[in-house]
Structure 1
C-alpha cells in the first residue's frame, strides 16, 4: 500500500500493476511471488494461511528509515484486492490473476465489475488455463492481456508474415524485455491489431534504468512497468512512448 500511495501521489497517469492470490479462507489478496520466502521470510504460500494469519511483509534495508514506509501502518500488511481497488478508484490497473483457482478468477472479476472500473482495468494471466477462465467467466467485458503461449504464437506467425491470420480479442500484451522478442515490427504489428504493449523487466519485474527505458522505446512499447516510478516519470518528460494509434502512421 505504501508504494501504491507513493505512485498515486506523484500525480501522473500511473498504471498500478499487481498480482492476486487466494488465501486459505478464500480472500483475494495482492502479492507477487508464488511463495512467502522472499517477501515475508517464512515458508509456505498465500494459500496456506487464513487472511488474518498472513505474515507481515519484510521491509528492504534501504527503505527501513524511509518515512514513506515507516509512517504508514499498512506498509507491512498484505492487502486485500478490494482494499486496493477502493483506495484508488480512478487509477488504471493491470491485474495478474497469478494462479487460479476458479474462485479467485470470479472474485477478481466481480470486484472489478461491481466497482464499474472495467474501462480502467486490464486483467488476465500468463497461464493459458487461468486466462481461459477469465475469458469464460467475463468474456470481453473486462479487457484482457495475452497469455504467454498465445504471445509466443503471435511472434512466430509475425516472423513468417502471418500475424494477420490471428484473431485478437485481447487488449494488451504484457511482455518481458528480452531481446529475441523486442522487434519493432512485431510490436507495431500488434498495435495495428489493437493490442497495446506494456513492457516489464527480466529479471526482477521492473525496468529500472534509463538504458532500459530507451530500449523499450526503440522497440515500440506503449507502456513501461518500473519499480522506480520517479525515475520513469522524469524520463518521460522528454521521451514520448508511441501510442497504439501511431502504429498506423
Structure 2
C-alpha cells in the first residue's frame, strides 16, 4: 500500500495493477500467481489463504528499467483490492485480471459495484475470450483491448477498414517499441533492433490515435521510465503513460506540460 500511496501523493491519477485470487477468494494485487519472485517464498497465491500470504521482499528487480529497487517501507503485506478501492476512492484503477477465471472476474465486478467505482475503474485481460467474459459479467465497467483486438485494430487501420471495427472497449494499451530498444540495446541483435524500430513506426501512428480518440478510446503506452521516452510519447499525443517511476513522469509533466496546457495522464505502474 505505501507504493500506491506514494504514487498518488506525487500526482499519479491512475494506478495500473494486476490481480490474483487467493484460496479463500480474496482478490489481491499481484502481477504473478507464483509468489517466489516477489516474496522469496515458494507457492501459488491461488493455493494460499490470504492470512498465510508471506510479506513482499524489500527489494525487487524492475524488468523495464533493469534495476534493483530497495524499499525502506515497513508494510510489505499483499494489498486487497477492496482496501485499495477504499484507500484511493477518487483515483482511476486499471485492472488486469490475469488468469481471468470466472470466479475472479465475478468478484472484481462485485467489488466495483460495492464501492461504486464505475466511473474510475478500467479492467480487462490480454486474452480476447476472457475480455468477452468480463464484458458479459459487467458491461458497465470500462474495458481495455485484448492483444487480439489491438492487432485487429492495426490490421484494419492499415487496410483502410478501421471504421468497420466495432469497439466496446474504451482504452487502447500498447507498448512503445523504441523504449524497449533503449532499455535492452546491449542484448538485442542488429536485426532485432531493426525489427523493433519497424514495429515502432507501425504502432505509433498519430492518425490511428486521432481516430480512436474520435471514437472515445484513450491511447495509453507502457512502460516508459526515461524522460526521452516521455518526450517521444508526448509527440504522438497519447492520453496516458504507464511508468514504474511516477516521480520522473510527474517532474517531466510539471516542467513541460503545465505551461502548454497539456492534460496528459500520469499513470503509476506500481503493481
**TM interval, short-chain normalised:** 0.7 to 0.9
Work out which structure has the larger RCO, using CA pairs closer than 8 Å and 6 or more positions apart in sequence: 2
Partner SS state of residue 77, structure 2: coil
Report the Cα offset of residue 54 of structure 1. Answer: 1.2
> 1:57-72 residue pairs with structure 2 within 5 A?
57-60=56-59, 62-64=69-71, 66=72, 69-70=73-74
Aligned partner (choices 151, 176, 186) of residue 208 of structure 2: 186
Compute the displacement of 1:58 (Å): 1.0
1:120-176 per-residue CA deviation (whole Å, 9 max, x = no partner) reads: 11111111122111101112x111111110111001111111111111111111211
**What is residue 221 of structure 2 aligned with on the other side?**
199
Q: Is the 2:153–2:165 Cα contact (8 Å) retained in structure 1?
A: yes
TM-score (norm 2): 0.80
Q: Which runs of 5+ in 2 are unaligned?
A: 60-67, 178-199, 266-271
The yes-or-no answer on 1:231 pairing with 2:230 is: no
The offset of 1:48, in angstroms, is: 2.0
The answer to whether the 8 Å contact 2:20/2:97 transfers is: yes
Q: Give the corresponding residue for 1:42.
A: 41
- Give CA-to-partner distance per residue, 1:50-108, whole Å, 9 cap, x none: 111112111126434x3xx14xxx2x111111011111111111111111210100111
- Are 2:195 and 1:169 equivalent residues in the alignment? no
Question: Cα offset for 1:116?
Answer: 1.1
Instruction: State the distance in 2 between where 1:6 and 1:112 align.
Output: 23
Which structure 1 segments of 5+ residues have no match?
202-206, 244-249
CA RMSD of aligned residues (A): 1.7
- The size of the alignment, in residue pairs, is 229
Structure 1: distance between partners of 2:156 and 2:33: 32
SS at match of 2:142: coil
Please report how far the alpha carbon of residue 42 of structure 1 lies from its aligned counterpart in structure 2 after TM superposition: 2.7
Please say if 1:212 is aligned against 2:229: yes
What SS does structure 1 have at the residue aligned with 2:143? coil
Q: Is the 1:221–1:241 Cα contact (8 Å) retained in structure 2?
A: no
Q: Tell me how far apart the structure 2 counterparts of residues 242 and 80 of structure 1 sit (CA, whole Å).
A: 29
Contact 1:118 / 1:142 at 8 angstroms: preserved in 2?
yes
Residues 223 and 241 in structure 1, CA contact (< 8 A), matched pair in contact too: no
Q: Name the counterpart of 2:8.
A: 8
Structure 1 or 2: more strand by fraction: 2
In the alignment, what sits opposite 1:17? Answer: 16
How far is 1:190 from its partner? 1.5
**CA distance in structure 1 between the partners assigned to 2:3 and 2:86 by the alignment:** 16
SS in 2 for 1:17: strand
Q: Does 1:107 align with 2:107?
A: yes
User: What does 1:128-167 correspond to in 2, within 5 Å?
Assistant: 128-139=128-139, 141-167=140-166
What is the aligned partner in structure 1 of residue 120 from structure 2? Answer: 120
1:217 and 1:241 in contact (8 A); partners too: no
